Amino acid sequence: MSKTKELRDAIYAPEILVQPGVYDGFSTRLVEYMGYKSAFITGSGVSEARLGQVDVGIMGMEENVAAVRSIAACSSLALLADGDTGYGNAINAYHTVRAFERAGAAGIMLEDQVWPKRCGHMRGKEVIPQDEMVQKLRAACEARVDKNFVIKSRTDTLATNGLDEVIRRLNAYAEAGADLLFADALMDAEQIRTVAANVSKPLCVNMGFGIRQRSTTPLLSAAQLQELGVAVVIYPRLLTACALAGMKKGLEVLGESLSTGQAADRPDLAVSFEELNEVMGMGEIKRLEEEFLTAAQKTAKYGKEHTGPVDLGAMHE
């Protein structure tokens, strides 16, 4: 089954689709290793990790597409990418969809913010007129080579125009051809239930998972969201926030070691070298070497006559 069809089927499945947010090779490999079949490529995470810049429209299309291409190449996940606003008008949105589809994404999210956009949970958002976004989505749907490629439409109008406008716009976007609808920064469970009950296509929401901010979406479990009528939940900031917290703690321990002169031995704060290699696909390297390297090559690499399976456990120091 193609990744596009896999993603589309998962959206319409009876059980809610849970998509962790991925942003680089580490996070993507880990999500797949942990058993997930699909993920959301978080634009904020890519901007922060790749450029070291906050999610306010500094990252352009080419940088985003390059990240998606690398992420798609290292996993078999069905990936839904973040195409921001489509980087311009309907014509730009058309070419944006073509670029992301060629890069290996199974779907793309397009939003109705004014460019430069900003993270949906920030203040100062502006939105384009509804008819302009409708034309963007019509162009996006026309641009698909694979008709199973998922078009997800996002509206940020709750903060600017209220809940009725959210519902009105999402239904207009569905009529324009969007497959999945996303109302960002809903304020409570009742708003989520109301939107889900009044739109014509499956609804997606996002969750912070331990990164709750004042005046934004409350934290709810996937089971609770499914009961409210939600089809897809994304966790765009889960792994970026956890990674930053882990690195910060590691540096704090290193700082303590430097100040005390004592070696820092905290294996509880880091994965082992063996687990790192396992997550990053060393098993596949081992299989390929076993199948394709000659006995002489294996002897040259490992320093002894090769008579059994290759042991890669001590390959890298």
Token duo for residue 207: 């969750």
Domain extents in the chain: 3-236, 271-303
Whether the pLDDT of residue 311 is over 90: the answer is: no
- At residue 306, the pLDDT reads 54
In tens, the pLDDT along 223-246 reads 999 999 999 999 999 999 999 999
Q: What is the pLDDT of residue 316?
A: 43
Q: What is the pLDDT of residue 209?
A: 67
Q: What is the pLDDT of residue 185?
A: 87
Whether the per-residue pLDDT at 179 is higher than 80: the answer is yes
**pLDDT above 70 covers what percent of the chain?**
93
Q: What is the pLDDT of residue 315?
A: 43
- Which residue is associated with the tokens 């999210």? 109
pLDDT in tens, 43-69: 999 999 999 999 999 999 999 999 999
pLDDT of residue 310: 52
CA distance 235 to 118: 17
pLDDT at 218: 84
Mean pLDDT of all residues in the chain? 92
In Å, how far from its chain's centre is CA 16? 16
**E-assigned strand segments in the chain:** 17-22, 38-41, 78-82, 107-111, 150-155, 180-183, 203-206, 232-235
Q: How confident is the model at residue 210 (pLDDT cuts 50, 70, 90)?
A: low
Q: Which amino acid is it at 67?
A: A
Residue 80 pLDDT: 98
User: What percent of the chain shows pLDDT beyond 90?
Assistant: 85
97 or 212, higher pLDDT: 97
Residue 265 to residue 68: CA distance in whole angstroms: 36
- Asked if residue 258 lies in contact with residue 43, where contact means CB atoms within 8 angstroms, the answer is no
pTM for this prediction:
0.91
**Confidence grade of residue 309 (pLDDT, cut at 50, 70, 90):** low
pLDDT at 308 > cutoff 90: no
Sign of the torsion formed by the C-alpha atoms of 84, 47, 126 and 183: positive
Give the class (CATH, top level) of 3-236. alpha beta
Over 80: is that where the pLDDT of 82 sits?
yes
